[in-house]
Structure 1
Amino acid sequence: MTDLLDIWAAHSPLAGHAPDQITVDFLLPTGIYIQLDVPREATIQHIKLLLWKQAQSFPLFPALGEMESHMFECVNQAAVHEELEDETRRLCDVRPFLPVLKLVTRNCGRAERLLDSKIGVLIGKGLHELDAINDQEVKDFRIKMFRLSEERMQRVQMMTCTEWLQACFSPQLEPPAATAVTDGVNDRAADLKVIIHFDQSQVSAADPDGEQNRFHTFMLCSHFSTLQQVQTCVWDVSSPFKIVLVKGSKVNAEETAKVQVRAGLFHGTELLCKPAVSSESSGQRASSEHTWRDNTLEFDISVCDLPRMTRLCFAIYAVMDKVKKQKSTKNSHINKYQTIPWVNTMVFDFKGQLKTGDITLHCWSSFPDELEEMLNPIGTIQTNPYTENATALHIHFPEYSSHPIIFPPFDKVRQTDGRPSRDLQGVTAKILKPCDRTLKLLALIRLLVCGKKFYIELKEIMERDPLSQLCENEKDLIWTLRHDCWENFPQSLPKLLLSVKWSKHEDMAQLQALLQIWPKLSPRDALELLDFNYPDQYVREYAVRCLRDMSDEELSQYLLQLVQVLRYEPYYDCALTHFLLERAQGNRKIGHFLFWHLRSEIHMPAVSVQFALILEAYCRGSIPHIEVLKKQVEALSKLKSVNELIKLGTIKNARSKTKEAMLTKEAMMTCLRQSGYTETLSDLHSPLNPNVQLSGINVERCRYMDSKMKPLWIVYNNKLLSGDTLGIIFKNGDDLRQDMLTLQILRLMDLLWKEANLDLRIVPYGCLATGDRAGLIEVVSSADTIANIQLTSSNVAAAAAFNKDALLNWLKERNSGDALDRAIEEFTLSCAGYCVATYVLGIGDRHSDNIMVRSTGQLFHIDFGHILGNFKSKFGIKRERVPFILTHDFIHVIQQGKTGYTEKFGSFRQYCEEAYLVLRKNGNLFITLFALMLTAGLPELTSVKDIQYLKDSLALGKTDEEALKQFRQKFDEALRESWTTKVNWMAHNVAKDNRS
């Protein structure tokens, strides 16, 4: 939705004049309406003074009382009421939906209301929306976070300046980055400058109006409401678990359709028992309501055997009478059903109590591919907030006891293990239950008979990659020898967890007792335990304990995944949330990226409340950071307005490209020169890197790019490096999250190679998603695309791609003598790195406009819209027929123009092979990181099958010799078929030349 105030300003360059005054309608609490022209650059405080002066001549003015006791409200861009408590904001920055301001009487607690208003604007979701949620879990979480944040801010106030700096900013210096935005060599020494700004008004947590008493009273009432009650342990309830289907409403099915409900109980992705299926419904077409004759669904599992994190998953579908014969597809099992809305809910609530009573679940209509039993256990447990058109399933949880049924605390779990915890160590045999005795005794006998051979087989199972499936016999073997795994294969914990019979509460208790003495895993290995397959609370708490050993730098490396796996957490108050908040509030840089990773997805219904709660908690515990982040949010809002102006201008002038370019660029510059834009866009910390201070925009060098979404190319003067500039690309309309993931993995590859003493000069430039299909990309200085380098060397676009001397000549023009030798070495190393990386990650759509070279020689790739082998095709023919890009003009540079394969080419090939072997050693880590992103909604990462590409490209499961043989074949293929790449590049150059 377009900001009208900005659109008025945005149109002005095209119209030739700028409206300094805006006509605003004011609604007073006395019932009086006043229309007044006010300066668009005026602050809210100044506008209130103008209104007060004008209101004196209207009736009932004395009834208004004191001016300070009032504030404005407006309807914001999200179509909700926003209280303008912060009166230092300007009208042009408020972004109301319409130029209407309502004057309302302030309540007590102005300081707290001002903070709430700032946080609401900052996170993009008003806190009054959270206040309105009638959910005890939300209320309890906010109360707890408020208390913890208050305690943190009190500790901050007691810190000395040195302690505060050390607590908020990492004292460690970052290593020289390959993406340095200076023209010099990356290894050069840089001066360290520290700028400290003290804003006492932000650090103070004083509450002169006593608003905090409201929260203390609320907390006290909450404690009284949770008095100890008589409770029943779930393990004492032997009845089969069942639910009652009350009705389904707004079911989009034909009048004669046979609507059924399928329900399944899951622990992670493990189906605990056979799904239950309802009878066919009797539908009422007029109301789209359906009821079922046999409306009780009974499951083949006792209540006592339900794990704590059991999910109840539903699918509603209409069976088609006639199914057309068609070829089998991956969705063929869905084709016979008309509609499949789905929804999930937890069996236990956030307090561990078995749910009872009526509940309405609003379903989701998007149906993922390849779901087991048509159910979606990996989907969110949140119901669809858009209830108006959503299918609703009304169910009833029966009562099994006259008292609340609760999941036992950990002390009772340990008692159920059957022996004191001190006896766990060194024990390799257990008293077995009769139902399990036969299988497990056979496994033990096999161990005694086979000896070393059996141990080797167990070792082979434990060393498999995370995608490898375990058969039932292997699971039984691992579970029987769980103490041997603990002693000899501690890194095998994920496979042990997959071998637990979670539908048997005795096995679950034994596992949790063993978990208490399990050795700590390395943080990298522990990441796998946060996957959806491991939902148990104690497992995830153990994983977080391992993550606490991460340095801030390592945590920053994996923060993207850690934010995404918050989606797997069924309850707001969990160990991972506390860990992320603790580390973010202890290091400003981690807090910065945690904020943006959360805020960029707050528009998504499935995580909107959860992410808003975490953002609120972070802001309350990091009050000094609020103004810094607020400045960035406002700057991005201005850039979005400029982008919308450009899109509007290009549409109006679509018939004349010359006129379009001239008028639109003029409009853009005029807009950027306006004081409202200049002030907002100047003197802020870069969202891409909070260590970089963006001083002022160099308007003359700013432009927009000639692609569909008209990205902005914004050039900043660098405040710390006089004379240099920084470039940032702002995109509005493109989802940058897949680029962000790919660049994160490239950064990790660079780190792993450096740990192996192999520096391949990777350029993992900055990329950050900041909102719904919006974000920023770092401009790498002194670099150009292969396409531009080739086109400038030839007068004919079709011939440019075949000029093998173009790239080498371009480097010679910018480097001479020893500098040229260094540039070619940089090119050789970086080319090797990107050949291996693009092959392993299956990066597609590699044309000459998304491969770039720096003047210092580094080659690097950009624009990662296609990954994991999703190569583009045309007319059913794959456009890319090579495993990675290795053209003869690249070889020409590597060999410094010499013909034949020289020693330098041999070194290049050796770099590639060494790099490939390093990545293979860390194959499990790459699979884990992609698996943790499965629910992020990336278009080319939606199922485990997508990750299978990594397993194949890294040749996991093969020996190093076998894998190296496979890679060498791919290398030869890339070299042999490089002519196809040149043909594609020629076609791209011709198409680009025709567009210009």
Structure 2
Amino acid sequence: MPPAMTDLLDIWAAHSHLAGHALDKITVDFLLPTGIYIQMDVPREATIQHIKLLLWKQAQSFPLFPSLGEMESHMFECVNQAAVHEELEDETRRLCDIRPFLPVLKLVTRNCGRAERLLDSKIGVLISKGLHELDAINDQEVKDFRSKMFRLSEERMQQVQMMTCTEWLQACFSPQLEPPAGTAITDGLNDRPADLKIIIHFDQFPSPRSSCAQYIRTCMQAKESPRLTLVHTSTVKAMFDKEISTIGAVVGRKSSNPPLPLPPKRRQVQTCVWDVSSSFKIVLVNGSKVNAEETAKVQVRAGLFHGTELLCKPAVSSESSGRSDHTWKDSTLEFDLSVCDLPRMTRLCFAIYAVMDKVKKQKSTKNHYPIAWVNTMVFDYKGQLKTGDIILHCWSSFPDELEEMLNPIGTIQTNPYTENATSLHINFPEYSSHSIVFPPFDKGRGGKKFHIELKEIMERDPLSQLCENEKDLIWTLRYDCRENFPQSLPKLLLSVKWSKHEDMAQLQALLQIWPKLSPRDALELLDFNYPDQYVREYAVGCLRDMSEEELSQYLLQLVQVLRYEPYYDCALTHFLLERAQGNRKIGHFLFWHLRSEIHMPAVSVQFALILEAYCRGSIPHIEVLKKQVEALSKLKSVNELIKLGTIKTARSKTKEAMLTKEAMMTYDSDSNFQRCRYMDSKMKPLWIVYNNKLLGGDTLGIIFKNGDDLRQDMLTLQILRLMDLLWKEANLDLRIVPYGCLATGDRSGLIEVVSSADTIANIQLTSSNVAAAAAFNKDALLNWLKERNSGDALERAIEEFTLSCAGYCVATYVLGIGDRHSDNIMVRSTGQLFHIDFGHILGNFKSKFGIKRERVPFILTHDFIHVIQQGKTGYTEKFGSFRQYCEEAYLVLRKNGNLFITLFALMLTAGLPELTSVKDIQYLKDSLALGKTDEDALKQFRQKFDEALRESWTTKVNWMAHNVAKDNRS
């Protein structure tokens, strides 16, 4: 029997002096899963991780190396001293400590252990897509992304394991503004109590206790607002121990030493794309399942795009006859653009369409009918020009207003429903015997003299078009733009000739020295118009200055912008994951924004991959999210039973029927299900009331909707929240009530119930016996407030009403919010007026028989004015103050007009019914009078204000009709 390896080590060490130097290496045989055998010397004191790195470098020169994949997806096995196979999972161990029986290490693919299988199962349930589906995707980009995210998530969990209790508390439960006890969530956004409430149980806190107390003091000092409430209903220590043990069950404690760097990529002979002067071309192999009429001729149109810019004239195939399968005689499509001038983010967009001869008025005209479209990138995720055959499964739904039937803003993912989808088989030819890659940064050149006319161009809004002369001027003066108008970077990018690689190189170099933009300005650079990788990395770098609150404000758009990212592994994805895994509030909303749209085929894989990465890097959060997912699933089941008529109990018995579901409703130990009923509207939404311990025992109402798309409401409420923030920054608090709203799935979600509030319709109807007359009772609203407030409280309530009415008048006008009847305007007992239900925005007002039902720019009725003036007639000083509030609020929004346009533009591909094209956003430009002076804009707003007053009687008529219809239904 050969001597054990430890004996060999002793012998070699004992005789090392004979060689004249210390023997610190051992010859080890490595067996690779590719069938390759490698023998090399490794340091006896090296860790397994370091040995693997050495092996990887050596293996690069051997055949079949690329088939190994990622280094982190492999581990070593050996035969130990007990003659048993041992998996060397802990790679921080040293070779001299492992003591294998023979100096032989076998490299194997990592197997998922029981804890990992359990984790995978939980993640699959959470993201509503089994991980086996991701495992089955035969796409190297998906595999590489998952492998990288797995490694980063594991490192993140190891870091959490090494945290002290105080560090963990800071990371997971950073101080945030919370409402005082006894009020609903919405109250906390506006009420400013002077007291500070802190509830923490210190009885089991680890010694020294002062560490947590110091943390609390730091939190209090860091928050100038007196509204800070830090509430924990269980001991911090218990929570900390539980979460660390949860991580340890899957990851296990690792060494705190930083991981070794990944091995360098294998050097290959490559050709720079800028050295290839041939014209770009592709070959149409065939098309199948085209679904064209027998008499039609089928053609393919192909265009190269950078963002929405068409880089050259589209190429068009010859015509092909047939109904389903097609080949084209002239199968090669050549473009008037050299390979060297292809931008890194070039999209190749296809449209398949039918050409039919149609006789009309004895004149023959050709008509084109779109059949399908599909997009793909010209460079792959590694920056390599694509070569070889590829089959693209097409999409059949065409958006409006397409340029030559091409859809560059559409997804680059192919249709996952391949069975019935039109497919296009194409070939990317080879231009070189070596792979062709896009080069890294080049160095830029200097700018020229500044011209004063540049200022006017740079101050235009994002929707303004630039003519070619203006683009040339901006590009010529690019260094002056950097010095004097750094926020004008988007206009400079629109002036780059992306079809000239020299300009691209200079732009990339210029980005290296461009001043950092504010996060609000940088958001525009994530629009579809700016697809360049380095531009987007620069933008994400600017976003890193965002506070947690600011990131929460714009998270909705940042998730939608992921649709514009052609590759899974990108700067924006890393940024969102880092911030979400570092702050559980961000993580919570990132999870739900992604999960609510995972059913959409165009983003299903991308969002699933990000959700999987988030869960792996936030293992303790999984249990909380799992309870939420389970609760929502059961609420949906109850709702569907109600819709089917299965629950036929009378209203008085509904609560009893719902209480049988209590066990499945309570998903939080701090919230107890109290009561539930369903509402009369078509989708039978559930009205649920919880007794929330975190709010001092107060109740919290939530509406669960199943069958309605809440994303447009969510967007509108987000913009209202932003308006409120901007006004407060300008020292103008208009008492806005942006209640909570969250889409959680396909046409389902939750809406927060604002406490102590009623609709204008109910207030009017309770004051009159006749529904038709209720809308014309101008005293009803004021009397309702008087019943609930007296003395100084009434004065405050009327002031609250005045401020909030001004805010919503301006907000609904600017956003073009329609369908404003008396059931979707509410008033709180404290006086705050607020709007709900935002199914119509951006000027999409409802009409009947072709006549607009809403003829006023915003709702300002005489009963509102009656409250503002405290019942006095004639326009008083109070009304003058109200009008002044409106004008100040309008001017503040105008100053931030570009931000609003950007936020709506970033939502264009979300699929919202009333936000589908740039034309929809044009409404904002008009309502904010962008491009005009403040004086002219204010003049326009005053005209709208007078119009709202003058035509308010039409609102009353509409409200009367609404009240009568509602009365008849009941």
TM-score bracket, shorter-length normalisation: 0.7 to 0.9
Assess if the C-alpha contact under 8 Å between 1:761 and 1:829 holds in 2: yes
Shift of 1:165: 1.2
1:516-538 Cα deviation digits (max 9, x unpaired): 00011111000000000000011
Q: Mark the CA change 1:261 to 1:179 in structure 2 (over 3 Å): closer, same or farther.
A: farther
SS in 2 for 1:59: coil
SS in 2 for 1:624: helix
Shift of 1:171: 3.0
Q: Mark the CA change 1:732 to 1:289 in structure 2 (over 3 Å): closer, same or farther.
A: same
Shift of 1:27: 40
TM-score (ref. length: structure 2): 0.79
Assess if the C-alpha contact under 8 Å between 1:601 and 1:772 holds in 2: yes
Assess if the C-alpha contact under 8 Å between 1:244 and 1:398 holds in 2: yes
Q: Mark the CA change 1:882 to 1:114 in structure 2 (over 3 Å): closer, same or farther.
A: same
Shift of 1:170: 2.2
1:477-520 Cα deviation digits (max 9, x unpaired): 10011111111111110000000000000000001111100011
SS in 2 for 1:137: helix
Query: What residue is the counterpart of 2:272 in the other structure?
Result: 233
1:780-824 Cα deviation digits (max 9, x unpaired): 000000000011111111111111111000000000000000000
Assess if the C-alpha contact under 8 Å between 1:268 and 1:377 holds in 2: yes
What RMSD over aligned residues (CA atoms) do the two structures have, in Å?
15.3
Shift of 1:873: 0.5
Assess if the C-alpha contact under 8 Å between 1:4 and 1:96 holds in 2: no
**In structure 2, how many angstroms separate the alpha carbons of the residues matched to 1:457 and 1:57?**
59
TM-score (ref. length: structure 1): 0.77
**In structure 2, how many angstroms separate the alpha carbons of the residues matched to 1:234 and 1:402?**
13
Shift of 1:191: 6.6
1:648-671 Cα deviation digits (max 9, x unpaired): 1279799999999999999999xx
Assess if the C-alpha contact under 8 Å between 1:179 and 1:780 holds in 2: no
Q: Mark the CA change 1:648 to 1:134 in structure 2 (over 3 Å): closer, same or farther.
A: same
SS in 1 for 2:188: coil
Assess if the C-alpha contact under 8 Å between 2:458 and 2:491 holds in 1: yes
Shift of 1:189: 2.7
Assess if the C-alpha contact under 8 Å between 1:3 and 1:77 holds in 2: no
Shift of 1:282: 2.8
**In structure 2, how many angstroms separate the alpha carbons of the residues matched to 1:52 and 1:904?**
78
Shift of 1:347: 0.2
**In structure 2, how many angstroms separate the alpha carbons of the residues matched to 1:192 and 1:553?**
20
**In structure 2, how many angstroms separate the alpha carbons of the residues matched to 1:806 and 1:238?**
78
Shift of 1:269: 0.4
Shift of 1:54: 56
1:295-317 Cα deviation digits (max 9, x unpaired): 11000000010000000000000
SS in 2 for 1:717: strand
Assess if the C-alpha contact under 8 Å between 2:735 and 2:807 holds in 1: yes
Q: Mark the CA change 1:621 to 1:6 in structure 2 (over 3 Å): closer, same or farther.
A: farther
SS in 2 for 1:321: strand
**In structure 1, how many angstroms separate the alpha carbons of the residues matched to 2:877 and 2:101?**
66
**In structure 2, how many angstroms separate the alpha carbons of the residues matched to 1:37 and 1:736?**
63
Q: Mark the CA change 1:966 to 1:350 in structure 2 (over 3 Å): closer, same or farther.
A: same
Q: Mark the CA change 1:827 to 1:57 in structure 2 (over 3 Å): closer, same or farther.
A: same
The equivalent position to 1:624 in structure 2, one of 620, 626, 629, is: 620
**In structure 1, how many angstroms separate the alpha carbons of the residues matched to 2:848 and 2:946?**
25
Assess if the C-alpha contact under 8 Å between 1:203 and 1:623 holds in 2: no
Shift of 1:887: 0.4
The equivalent position to 2:914 in structure 1, one of 918, 940, 949, is: 940
Q: Mark the CA change 1:826 to 1:233 in structure 2 (over 3 Å): closer, same or farther.
A: same
Q: Mark the CA change 1:598 to 1:790 in structure 2 (over 3 Å): closer, same or farther.
A: same
The equivalent position to 2:332 in structure 1, one of 296, 300, 324, is: 296
Shift of 1:569: 0.4
**In structure 1, how many angstroms separate the alpha carbons of the residues matched to 2:26 and 2:691?**
32
Q: Mark the CA change 1:326 to 1:475 in structure 2 (over 3 Å): closer, same or farther.
A: farther
**After alignment, is 560-569 or 402-411 more displaced?**
402-411
Q: Mark the CA change 1:503 to 1:135 in structure 2 (over 3 Å): closer, same or farther.
A: same
Assess if the C-alpha contact under 8 Å between 2:70 and 2:147 holds in 1: no
SS in 2 for 1:245: strand
Gaps of 5+ in 2: 204-233, 239-266
Assess if the C-alpha contact under 8 Å between 1:309 and 1:346 holds in 2: yes
Is residue 323 of structure 1 aligned with residue 362 of structure 2?
no
Shift of 1:319: 1.3
Shift of 1:409: 2.1
Shift of 1:718: 1.6
% identical aligned pairs: 95
SS in 2 for 1:323: strand
**In structure 2, how many angstroms separate the alpha carbons of the residues matched to 1:821 and 1:995?**
37
Shift of 1:981: 0.4
Assess if the C-alpha contact under 8 Å between 1:178 and 1:762 holds in 2: no
Q: How many pairs are equivalent?
A: 900
Assess if the C-alpha contact under 8 Å between 1:738 and 1:938 holds in 2: yes
SS in 2 for 1:104: strand
1:63-111 Cα deviation digits (max 9, x unpaired): 9999999999999999999999999999999999999999999986101
Q: Mark the CA change 1:886 to 1:540 in structure 2 (over 3 Å): closer, same or farther.
A: same
Q: Mark the CA change 1:875 to 1:388 in structure 2 (over 3 Å): closer, same or farther.
A: same
SS in 1 for 2:284: strand
**In structure 1, how many angstroms separate the alpha carbons of the residues matched to 2:780 and 2:42?**
59
Is residue 467 of structure 1 aligned with residue 471 of structure 2?
no
Query: What residue is the counterpart of 1:51 in the other structure?
Result: 55
Query: What residue is the counterpart of 2:383 in the other structure?
Result: 352
**In structure 2, how many angstroms separate the alpha carbons of the residues matched to 1:253 and 1:63?**
42
Shift of 1:404: 0.8
Q: Mark the CA change 1:261 to 1:941 in structure 2 (over 3 Å): closer, same or farther.
A: same
SS in 1 for 2:357: coil
Correspondence 1:531-550 to 2 at 5 A: 531-550=527-546
Correspondence 1:475-554 to 2 at 5 A: 475-554=471-550
SS in 1 for 2:944: helix
Correspondence 1:57-456 to 2 at 5 A: 109-173=113-177, 180-181=184-185, 186-189=190-193, 228-283=267-322, 288-322=324-358, 336-337=368-369, 340-410=371-441, 455-456=451-452
Shift of 1:322: 1.1
Is residue 993 of structure 1 aligned with residue 936 of structure 2?
no
**In structure 1, how many angstroms separate the alpha carbons of the residues matched to 2:122 and 2:759?**
43
Assess if the C-alpha contact under 8 Å between 2:276 and 2:431 holds in 1: yes
Shift of 1:320: 2.3
Shift of 1:454: 8.1
Shift of 1:714: 0.1
Q: Mark the CA change 1:169 to 1:12 in structure 2 (over 3 Å): closer, same or farther.
A: farther
Q: Mark the CA change 1:325 to 1:579 in structure 2 (over 3 Å): closer, same or farther.
A: farther
Assess if the C-alpha contact under 8 Å between 2:201 and 2:236 holds in 1: no
**In structure 2, how many angstroms separate the alpha carbons of the residues matched to 1:62 and 1:409?**
23
Shift of 1:166: 1.0
Shift of 1:925: 0.2
Q: Mark the CA change 1:995 to 1:98 in structure 2 (over 3 Å): closer, same or farther.
A: farther
1:24-82 Cα deviation digits (max 9, x unpaired): 99999999999999999999999999999999999999999999999999999999999
The equivalent position to 2:554 in structure 1, one of 555, 558, 570, is: 558
Shift of 1:374: 1.2
Q: Mark the CA change 1:554 to 1:76 in structure 2 (over 3 Å): closer, same or farther.
A: farther
Gaps of 5+ in 1: 206-227, 413-450, 670-694
Q: Mark the CA change 1:584 to 1:796 in structure 2 (over 3 Å): closer, same or farther.
A: same
Q: Mark the CA change 1:373 to 1:336 in structure 2 (over 3 Å): closer, same or farther.
A: closer
SS in 1 for 2:166: helix
1:890-912 Cα deviation digits (max 9, x unpaired): 00000011111010000000000
The equivalent position to 2:749 in structure 1, one of 775, 790, 799, is: 775
SS in 2 for 1:312: strand
1:604-637 Cα deviation digits (max 9, x unpaired): 1100111111111111111111101111111101
Correspondence 1:881-920 to 2 at 5 A: 881-920=855-894
